[in-house]
């Protein structure tokens, strides 16, 4: 019997039995970024069971020693076939490498690894996976700071002797709480923009701008990468309703979304707020911008009939980017918008969904 591992058995072993597993290809720049984030030495690979494996020793962004990290170059691994790659694609939702798992969970691609390295979430994910000691993560953050990290406990900031970290530190925050917005100021601004206007597009455009800039002002660019509206429209000669792109701030996005799809579809279908801390674990999430890691979608309903009018969608490059307060205060904004604006009734053609 050969030592070759293939198919589900191969991936199951890698995903679940190691702290970090990254599937890469040799000449891929996004893979190089993921490898570099973990400090993989390109000259230190070995071949085991037909898999070309790098074992990084030190995470380059922090100098912290890593344990149990496996990086597999798929194209240089003789035991990997296309069926196995299909399985990876079905987990990640895309047919590109790198595909990165921490603690058995899919965490994204190369840019996601770089961003998590920069904002401090990577260290805490590595600690959760037992690839590094939690004390090492705190030590690094206390020494160098990190934009996504909470302030160090006072006893550590003022102490010149090494802290007894296992006793004095609080449990690691998986998703550091976002800074609160000034909702009084935001509501006043939005009132002045929309209360004397009834055109939906003018109002929605100003609301998306006011909310987006308020988030950026308080949380910086990691607070929001897309903020805007999809409106519910009936389809010609059909009982279907689809979500049609409306005014927004951010990169171009998919124009039409079925109610059966994505976080937006879920909010529209259930008429419930969807506050998703990690979009990669939301089945069917539609990634309009690969920078998004969390999302808040608020359904908009007619104030008297309860009819679905659309959704207000916010994407965030940080995990756990939106709070319950955001959901409730932005829900009030949506109610106001629906109360003063006239929504178009004309049916539209189905068009090319998700293009």
What residue ranges bind ligand SME (CB under 6 A)?
Answer: 226, 253-254, 257, 262-265, 285-286, 288, 295, 313, 315
Instruction: State whether the Cα torsion 292-282-330-176 is positive or negative.
Output: negative
Residue closer to ligand SME (CB basis): 132 or 263: 263
Residue nearest to ligand SME (CB): 262
- Give the Cα separation of 328 and 296 in Å (integer): 11
Cis ω for the linkage preceding 340 (within 30 of 0): no
- Tell how many helices (H) and how many strands (E) occur in the chain: 12, 14
Residue closer to ligand SME (CB basis): 5 or 263: 263
Residue closer to ligand SME (CB basis): 62 or 294: 294
- Give the Cα separation of 52 and 71 in Å (integer): 8
Q: How far is the CB of 201 from ligand SME (least distance, A)?
A: 17
Q: How far is the CB of 51 from ligand SME (least distance, A)?
A: 34
Q: How far is the CB of 259 from ligand SME (least distance, A)?
A: 10
Residue closer to ligand SME (CB basis): 118 or 269: 269
Residue closer to ligand SME (CB basis): 93 or 173: 93
Strands 45-48 and 226-234 come out as unpaired
Q: How far is the CB of 208 from ligand SME (least distance, A)?
A: 11
Give 280-341 as a 3 state SS string: HHCCCCCCCCCCCCEEEEEEEECCCCCCEEEEEEEEECCCCCCCHHHHHHHHHHHHHHHHHC
């Amino acid at each position: 019997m050969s030592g070759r591992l293939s198919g589900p058995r191969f991936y199951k072993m890698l995903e679940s039995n190691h702290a970090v597993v990254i599937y890469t290809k040799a000449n891929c720049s996004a893979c190089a970024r993921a490898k570099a984030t973990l400090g993989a030495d390109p000259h230190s690979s070995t071949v085991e069971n037909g898999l070309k494996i790098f074992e990084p020793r030190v995470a380059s962004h922090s100098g912290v020693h890593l344990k149990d990290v496996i990086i597999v170059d798929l194209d240089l691994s003789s035991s990997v076939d296309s069926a196995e790659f299909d399985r990876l694609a079905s987990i990640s939702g895309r047919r590109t490498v790198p595909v990165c798992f921490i603690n058995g969970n899919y965490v994204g691609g190369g840019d996601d690894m770089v961003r998590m390295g920069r904002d401090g979430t990577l260290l805490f994910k590595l600690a959760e996976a037992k690839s590094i000691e939690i004390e090492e993560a705190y030590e690094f953050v206390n020494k160098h700071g990190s934009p996504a990290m909470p302030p160090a406990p006072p006893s550590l900031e003022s102490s010149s002797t090494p802290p007894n970290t296992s006793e004095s530190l609080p449990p690691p925050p998986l998703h550091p709480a976002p800074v609160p917005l000034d909702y009084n100021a935001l509501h006043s601004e939005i009132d002045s923009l929309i209360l004397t206007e009834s055109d939906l597009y003018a109002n929605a455009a100003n609301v998306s701008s006011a909310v987006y800039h308020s988030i950026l002002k308080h949380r910086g660019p990691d607070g929001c990468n897309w903020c805007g509206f999809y409106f519910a429209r009936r389809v010609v000669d059909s009982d279907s309703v689809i979500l049609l792109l409306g005014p927004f701030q951010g990169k171009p996005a998919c124009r039409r979304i079925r109610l059966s799809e994505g976080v937006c579809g879920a909010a529209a279908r259930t008429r419930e707020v969807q506050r998703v801390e990690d979009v990669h674990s939301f089945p069917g999430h539609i990634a309009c911008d690969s920078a998004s890691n969390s999302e808040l979608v608020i359904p908009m309903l007619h104030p008297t009939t309860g009819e679905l009018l659309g959704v207000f969608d916010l994407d965030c490059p940080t995990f756990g980017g939106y709070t319950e307060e955001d959901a409730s205060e932005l829900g009030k904004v949506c109610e106001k918008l629906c109360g003063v604006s006239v929504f178009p009734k004309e049916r539209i053609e189905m068009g090319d969904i998700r293009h």
